[in-house]
């Protein structure tokens, strides 16, 4: 390869469309803007969603729902995930290092999903009633 032989990839460069440059170009006279009206004029446009004064769609539809910003600090772990983890003592830091909960998580709760056969001691982690019963049945504890 030589410096004088370097070219851009095929199709990467294309000529800019030159509008308003005569009848033969196919984009002369109105330059692809149609006839008259606000959209044909220089500087004539309106805000996004404007419907000519009619009540716009985003204002006609009802507001609905709510997403709590505190949800990103809460996390859930299943019994099956604890089984797969295979640690005797589990805390929030261990779960973060294993990638079972997000790095932002502050409140972690164990939910009853799957089976737990080994003894696990939870520290600083909550558990649902069913999950707590399953952990204690396997010889573990929830603190």
Q: Report CA torsion sign: 131, 114, 68, 122.
A: positive
Q: What is the mean pLDDT of residues 102-112?
A: 95
Q: Classify residue 75: in a domain, yes or no.
A: yes
Give residue-wise pLDDT tens across range 49-87.
999 899 999 999 999 999 999 999 999 999 999 999 989
Give the range of the structural domain holding residue 101, as residue numbers without chain letter: 71-142
Q: Do the domain assignments include residue 22?
A: no
pLDDT at residue 45 in the model: 85
Q: Do residues 19 and 32 lie in contact, with contact meaning Cβ atoms separated by under 8 Å? A: yes
pTM of the predicted model, to two decimals?
A: 0.56
Does residue 95 contact residue 60 with C-beta atoms inside 8 Å? Answer: no
**Can you give the CATH number for the domain in which 108 is found?**
3.100.10.10
State CA 108 to chain mean position distance.
Answer: 21
Residue 30 lies in a domain: no
Say yes or no to pLDDT of 1 above 90: no
Mean pLDDT calculated for residue range 22-45 = 92
Residue 38 in domain: no
Residue 133 lies in a domain: yes
Q: Is residue 17 part of a domain?
A: no
| pLDDT score for 40 | 93
pLDDT tens per residue, range 109-140? 999 999 999 999 999 999 999 999 999 999 99
Say how many domains are in the chain.
1
pLDDT at 143 > cutoff 90: no
Is 102 domain-assigned? yes
> What gap in Å lies between CA 42 and CA 21, rounded to an integer?
17
């Amino acid at each position: 390869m030589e410096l004088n032989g370097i070219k851009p990839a095929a199709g990467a460069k294309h000529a800019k469309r030159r509008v308003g440059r005569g009848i033969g170009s196919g984009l002369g006279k109105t330059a692809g803007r149609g006839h008259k009206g606000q959209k044909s004029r220089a500087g004539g446009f309106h805000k996004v969603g404007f419907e000519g004064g009619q009540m716009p769609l985003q204002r006609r539809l009802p507001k609905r729902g709510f997403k709590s910003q505190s949800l990103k600090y809460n996390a859930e772990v299943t019994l099956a995930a604890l089984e797969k983890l295979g640690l005797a003592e589990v805390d929030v830091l261990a779960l973060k290092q294993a990638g079972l909960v997000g790095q932002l998580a502050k409140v972690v709760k164990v939910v009853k999903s799957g089976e737990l056969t080994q003894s696990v001691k939870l520290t600083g982690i909550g558990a649902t009633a069913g999950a707590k019963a399953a952990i204690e049945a396997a010889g573990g504890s929830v603190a």
